[in-house]
Amino acid sequence: MSDQHKVTVELGERAYEIHIGSGVLARAADYIAPVLSRPKLAIIADSNLAENHLPVLQAALDGAAIAHDSYLVPAGEASKNFNQLAELSEWLLGQKIERNDCIVALGGGVVGDLTGFAAAILRRGTRFIQIPTSLLAQVDSSIGGKTAINAKSGKNLIGAFHQPDLVLADMEVLKTLPPREIGAGYAEIVKYGALGDAAFFDWLEENGADILALDEPAMAQAVAKSCEAKAAIVARDERETGERALLNLGHTFGHAFEALTGYDNTLLHGEGVAYGMVLAFAFSAMRGDCPDADAARVKAHIAASNLPDTMDKIGDGQFTASALIEAMTQDKKVQNGKMRFILAHGLGDAFIADNVNEDELRAFLLAQGAQDA
């Protein structure tokens, strides 16, 4: 099977392509040149990539006579702030980047979100290209046009929908990532099977170990399938007025654990999503919405993928039901004061539940090992 894939996000005049495969970064100019209005662009890169991946992109652009300047964003979530946004925007203006020029985001979710938001507001909207270098960014955050910085009151609360013009996902850049980060990105891949494609979930049960071991054709296939799933949902519901919310499977539970562990390395976002999916399926089963056997398969695959499948594997494992519920009610997805959960009728069949009551949620969390307070 070929390990080169192309997925189109069908958004009419704003449609764009995602190219997935090995060596895509070294061939970046072949994909980038056709979308440029003139042979000039600005690269915004994660400072950790300055040594290895940035020179590959720069060489590719030099080879195609595309002029470029680079700006390094300090690695880490803390860079998604107003000061960094202001500095980056002034730098882009200093580089005389025009509305029809492209800004390239080379990095993980932090650089993609920050650069995308800068592109959304620079000259009231400049074009941009995503070159995601983390697995999580390749299968989720680089696609679909959600861009943002963080606010004091929460993550990603200040942002805009602004679609990129091109996404390039190179399997080779993933080889240098720590295994834990690969696992966290893999959780988002599992999410696409769990929420809408039972056959893909079956395939992941068979092939997950190869993906986690960085087998490039298996990875490219999994990334492409994930991008197809997300592209289809985004094309139908770009602004999350309905179906796009299904992409938040595992997120309401997961965010609560992320918040209570301080959004640090104790629990990576993808790990929170992994455990959140286990809980979403177990809760669905408890409510009688979903067969127990499907919930058991989700839990078993998360455990087999070395991701957290029980509460005692998260931090010190000590969480009170009240603190978890409080964190869930602060979630972005609360609407009209009601918590919205993404639950499932079965594997590949997620739905939006607005009717969760706090008593059943508390009883469920206690049964999962939360403390009674």
Marked catalytic residue, from 13, 51, 83, 124: 124
Is 301 an annotated catalytic residue?
Answer: no
Is 362 an annotated catalytic residue?
Answer: no
Burial class from Cβ neighbours inside 10 Å (0-12, 13-18, 19+) for residue 166 reads buried
Min CB(328)–ligand GLY separation in Å: 17
Q: Judged by CB under 6 A, does residue 244 bind ligand GLY?
A: yes
Marked catalytic residue, from 251, 297, 301, 340: 251
Q: Write the CA distances from 315 to 22, 136, 155, 160, 369, integer angstroms.
A: 36, 21, 20, 33, 13
Q: Judged by CB under 6 A, does residue 309 bind ligand GLY?
A: no
Q: Judged by CB under 6 A, does residue 183 bind ligand GLY?
A: no
Is 124 an annotated catalytic residue?
Answer: yes
At 307, list the tokens: 């991701």
344: β partners: 350
Buried b (16+ CB within 10 A) or exposed e, 102-117: bbbbbbbbbbbbbbbb
Q: Write the CA distances from 328 to 148, 249, 254, 339, integer angstroms.
A: 21, 14, 9, 7
Is 80 an annotated catalytic residue?
Answer: no
Q: Considering beta carbons, is residue 3 or 140 the nearer one to ligand GLY?
A: 140
Marked catalytic residue, from 77, 87, 238, 240: 240
Q: Considering beta carbons, is residue 245 or 361 the nearer one to ligand GLY?
A: 245
Min CB(233)–ligand GLY separation in Å: 8
Among the listed residues 19, 53, 80, 146, the single contact to ligand GLY using CB under 6 A: 146
Of 266, 271, 253, 292, the C-alpha closest to 370 is: 253
Q: How many residues bind ligand GLY (CB under 6 A)?
A: 6
Is 127 an annotated catalytic residue?
Answer: no
Q: Considering beta carbons, is residue 57 or 268 the nearer one to ligand GLY?
A: 268
Q: Edge-to-edge strand order for the sheet containing 40-46?
A: 5-9, 16-21, 166-170, 127-132, 102-107, 40-46, 67-73
Is 146 an annotated catalytic residue?
Answer: yes
Q: Select the span of 44-52, 117-125, 239-247, 266-274 touching ligand GLY (CB under 6 A).
A: 239-247
Gap between the terminal Cα atoms of the chain: 53
Is 230 an annotated catalytic residue?
Answer: yes
d(CA 219, CA 207): 9
On whether the CB atoms of residues 223 and 135 are closer than 8 A, the answer is yes
Among the listed residues 97, 247, 282, 365, the single contact to ligand GLY using CB under 6 A: 247
| Nearby residues of 324 by Cβ (< 8 Å), 6 or more positions away | 256, 257, 260, 365, 370
Marked catalytic residue, from 248, 271, 299, 301: 248
d(CA 256, CA 154): 12
Min CB(277)–ligand GLY separation in Å: 14
Is 287 an annotated catalytic residue?
Answer: no
Q: Considering beta carbons, is residue 244 or 362 the nearer one to ligand GLY?
A: 244
Question: Taking the alpha carbons of 140, 307, 332, 262 in that order, is the dihedral positive or negative?
Answer: negative
Is 51 an annotated catalytic residue?
Answer: no
Provide the strand spans (E) within 142-198.
Answer: 146-151, 154-161, 166-170
Is 175 an annotated catalytic residue?
Answer: no
Residues 113-142 that bind ligand GLY (CB under 6 A): 140
d(CA 121, CA 126): 7
Residues 259-288 that bind ligand GLY (CB under 6 A): none
Q: Considering beta carbons, is residue 145 or 285 the nearer one to ligand GLY?
A: 145
Q: Considering beta carbons, is residue 146 or 299 the nearer one to ligand GLY?
A: 146
Min CB(322)–ligand GLY separation in Å: 28
Q: Write the CA distances from 147 to 49, 137, 144, 164, integer angstroms.
A: 21, 12, 9, 10
Min CB(301)–ligand GLY separation in Å: 21
In the complex, which residues of this chain contact ligand GLY (CB under 6 A)?
140, 144, 146, 240, 244, 247
Q: Which residues are catalytic?
A: 124, 146, 188, 230, 240, 244, 248, 251, 255, 269
